Amino acid sequence: MSMQKDIAEISYLDFKGKYKGIFSWIFSTDHKRIALLYLYSILTFFVIGATLGLLMKFELIAPGKTIMDAQTYNAFFTLHGIIMIFAVVIPGLPAVFGNFLLPIMIGAKDVAFPRINLFSWYLYVTGVSLVLISQFAGQGPPDTGWTFYAPYSFRTSGTMLPAVFGAFVLGFSSILTGLNFLVTIHRMRAPGMTWLKMPLFPWTLYATGWVQLLATPIIGITLLMIVAERTLHIGFFDPTLGGDPLLYQHLFWTYSHPAVYIMILPAMGAISEIITTFSHKTIFGYRFMVASVLAIAFVGYFVWGHHMFTSGMSGTALYTFSLLTFLVAIPSAIKVFNWISTMHQGSIDLQTPFYWAMAFIFVFMVGGFSGLILGSLAANVHLHNTHFVVAHFHFIVFGGTGFAFFGAMHYWFPKITGKMYDTRWANIGLVLFFIGFITLYGPMFYLGFKGMPRRYYDYDEVFHAGNIISTMGSWVLYSGLAIIIINLFASLRSGTIAPSDPWGGKTLEWTIPSPPPVENFEEIPIITKGPYDYK
């Protein structure tokens, strides 16, 4: 009995299991350790991807060749896209914060399948390694963009196979994470935690799990078809053999649009948690929040065509996809209204995570509104494949998911590490990050509107001014990022000890010590109240 009590009290960071040293991490099936494995790998690839972006922006500081030629630039935006999409933002919030917090927030000791959880991390590492191998093996790195559009993806001399197969493996890893979360939520909620007593972050992970499960296989089979096309010349998407490249685009976006919701839904969940906690007030319209999450996940399946407005579709299809695209804006807007209403008459505690949440709402709205411009048919014809799309996309994916990721990082950092961070440096980092972000991507709206196409290393002189501003923004953004990351790492060493509930949060993770013990709860809690009980 005393042995068991020790395990219940010792923190997951200090726990000595079967394995020593690094093996106690890479062989651990503890969801918290797996979350940190994901965190460190994702952070590494994020820094690699961001550095590629920085170099690309430097290339664009002046027309003509600055530091790289056309082919290198093509390889850079391809690798930047593959890494950032498949290895950073898709797994980002679910694999790191979902893994760490989902079991705790629903009052469980682990996920339903701990070993599959660890396996999914191995798949993740394998997938990214394959993508990286493609950079150095064969006749040169892939240069198709992250979308692998047919027929170029099986005509180019670049090393496509490892990259495409790597993306396939990453998809499989994502499926297993989603599957694990779905079963965990269905089977392992603490007694008394009915569906509508579940906090919003688990709710968003639940919706995300379904999207991961039901959309990812489509990209899986599509990527396999590209592999078969390159190796066996089957003719699926090759017009010379009777195939249809447009069909590839349909299949690709059938997954890749819902994938945007894999990225943004958990981000919305994390933001909901942060705003409630720092407003010290129950979330406004809990049921509407849940319904809007499910609505976004559902409608998100039926809007993929808006990536293909200029590719050639029937008029009926165009109108339908455009209308459905506008429909998605409604549940997203409900969330924004509810976040603002939550703050109304709350007693707001202005802390770093709350600032991140505010910044998130701002950039998410800019991204969302520019999405509506792109979703309208006439404007789309003008803006398609310009920098406007790049700006919109980065406002949503980097601005949305990225800001929420760092917000979540600063919100749950005390819980995960048991240390508080230096608030002053965290805020300085955030301000630089935000200013840099707006300066980097803001001008792209203008440049795109004026007609600057994306994915070229060169541009006409008339676009020069906007590009200089944008490139300077990338430097500010990168410095902000460096300060944020250095500050968090420095706080790991020198931060003060975190109490179990530094922010006054009400969800279950704040009821256990920081960092959490190995088995999370000494005794599984019995839930009698809603998740945000601030009365």
Partner 1 sequence: MSMTTETHRDDLASKTGMWLFLFTEMLLFGGLFVVYSVYRYRNSLAFHLAAHELNVFIGTVNTIILLISSSTIAMSITAIQKQNKKLALLLLGVTISLGLAFLVNKYFEWGEHIKEHIYPGSPVLALRGQGDVLFYGLYFFMTGLHALHIIIGLVFMGIVTAKVSRNKISHDNYVLLENSGLYWHLVDLIWIFLFPLFYLIT
Binding segment for partner 1 (CB under 8 A), chosen from 199-207, 213-221, 257-265, 282-290, is 213-221
Q: What angle do CA 229, 235, 236 make, to 5 degrees?
A: 80
For position 188 contacting partner 1 by CB under 8 A, the verdict is yes
**Eight-class DSSP state of 456:** -
For residue 10, state whether it binds partner 1 (rule: CB under 8 A). no
Q: Is 213 in the site for partner 1 (CB under 8 A)?
A: yes
Which range binds partner 1 by CB under 8 A, 37-45, 92-100, 186-194, 296-304? 186-194
Smallest distance from partner 1 to CB 515, Å? 17
- Report the residue from 13, 26, 61, 224 that binds partner 1 according to the rule CB under 8 A: 224
Residue among 339, 306, 480 at smallest CA distance from 402: 480
Closer of 111 and 477 to partner 1 (Cβ): 111
Per CB under 8 A, the segment of 55-63, 239-247, 353-361, 442-450 that binds partner 1 is 239-247
Region near partner 1 per CB under 8 A, out of 117-125, 231-239, 403-411, 445-453: 231-239
Question: For helices 423-449 and 387-394, what crossing angle results, to 10°?
Answer: 150
Closer residue to partner 1 (CB): 53 or 107: 107
Specify the DSSP element, H or E, that contains 308. Answer: none
Residue 508 in the binding site for partner 1 (CB under 8 A): no
Nearest to partner 1 of 194, 494 (CB atom): 194
State in angstroms the smallest separation of the CB of 293 from partner 1. Answer: 19
> Out of 233, 344, 424, 529, which residue is the one contacting partner 1 (CB under 8 A)?
233
| Conformational region of residue 524, where left means phi above 0, alpha means psi within -120 to 50, and beta covers everything else | beta
How many whole angstroms separate alpha carbon 153 and alpha carbon 252?
13
Q: In 3D, which of 47, 76, 46 has the Cα closest to residue 60?
A: 76
232 part of the interface to partner 1, by CB under 8 A: yes
Site for partner 1 in 337-356 (CB under 8 A): none
67-83: burial string, b at 16+ Cβ within 10 Å, e else:
ebeeebbbbbbbbbbbb
d(CA 349, CA 354): 8
* For partner 1, the closer CB: 77 or 261: 261
Task: Report helix, strand or coil for 453.
Answer: strand
Binding positions for partner 1, 152-181, rule CB under 8 A = 175, 179-180
Tell me the β-bridge partners of 517: 11
Binding flag, residue 221, partner 1 (CB under 8 A): yes
Nearer to partner 1, 81 or 220 (CB): 220
* Segment lying near partner 1 (by CB under 8 A), choices 68-76, 157-165, 240-248, 402-410: 240-248
Selected from 182, 296, 361, 508, the binder of partner 1 by CB under 8 A is 182
Residue 234 makes contact with partner 1 by CB under 8 A: yes
Q: Which of 139, 180, 134, 250 is nearest to 31 (CA)?
A: 180
Q: Which of 220, 300, 436, 530 binds partner 1 (CB under 8 A)?
A: 220
Scanning 200-208, 229-237, 398-406, 456-464 for contacts with partner 1 by CB under 8 A, the matching segment is 229-237
Indicate if the alpha-carbon torsion angle 402, 408, 410, 414 is positive or negative.
Answer: negative
Our CB check for partner 1 shows the closer of 225 and 483 to be 225
Side-chain-side CA neighbours of 347 within 13 Å: the count stands at 6
Q: Which residues sit opposite 386 in a β-bridge? A: 453
Q: Which of 63, 145, 235, 346 binds partner 1 (CB under 8 A)?
A: 235
Examine residue 114 and tell whether it contacts partner 1 (CB under 8 A). yes
**Nearest CA-CA partner of 200 in 86, 350, 357:** 357
Residue pair 329/368 in contact (Cβ under 8 Å)? The answer is yes
Contacts made by residues 444-450, CB under 8 angstroms, sequence distance 24+: 444/387, 444/388, 444/390, 444/391, 444/394, 444/470, 445/370, 445/387, 445/388, 445/391, 445/392, 447/386, 447/387, 447/388, 448/383, 448/386, 448/387, 448/388, 448/389, 448/390, 448/391, 449/383, 449/386, 449/388
> Is the CB of 8 or the CB of 47 nearer to partner 1?
8
Q: Report the residue number, 114 or 513, with the smaller CB distance to partner 1.
A: 114
Whether the CB-CB separation of 251 and 215 falls below 8 Å is answered with no
User: Which of 92, 110, 263 lies closest to 184 in space, CA to CA?
Assistant: 110
Tell whether residue 236 is a contact of partner 1 (CB under 8 A): yes
Q: Which positions from 83 to 112 touch partner 1 by CB under 8 A, shown as an x/- string?
A: --------------------------xx-x
Closest alpha carbon to 409 in 36, 56, 109? 36
What's the CA angle centered on 223, arms 217 and 229, to 5 degrees? 140
How far apart CA 98 and CA 339 sit, in angstroms, is: 21
Dihedral sign (CA 432, 97, 265, 194): negative
Select the residue interacting with partner 1 from 143, 501, 509, 519 (CB under 8 A).
519
Q: Is 313 in the site for partner 1 (CB under 8 A)?
A: no
249-268: contacts with partner 1 (CB under 8 A): 251
Shortest separation between residue 240's beta carbon and partner 1, angstroms: 9
Task: Establish if 16 lies at the interface with partner 1 (CB under 8 A).
Answer: no
Q: Which of residues 392-421 bind partner 1 (CB under 8 A)?
A: none
As measured in angstroms, the least distance from the Cβ of 311 to partner 1 is: 15
Residues making contact with partner 1 (CB under 8 A): 4, 29, 109-110, 112-114, 116, 175, 179-180, 182-183, 186-188, 190-191, 213-214, 216-218, 220-222, 224-225, 228, 232-236, 241-244, 247, 251, 519, 524
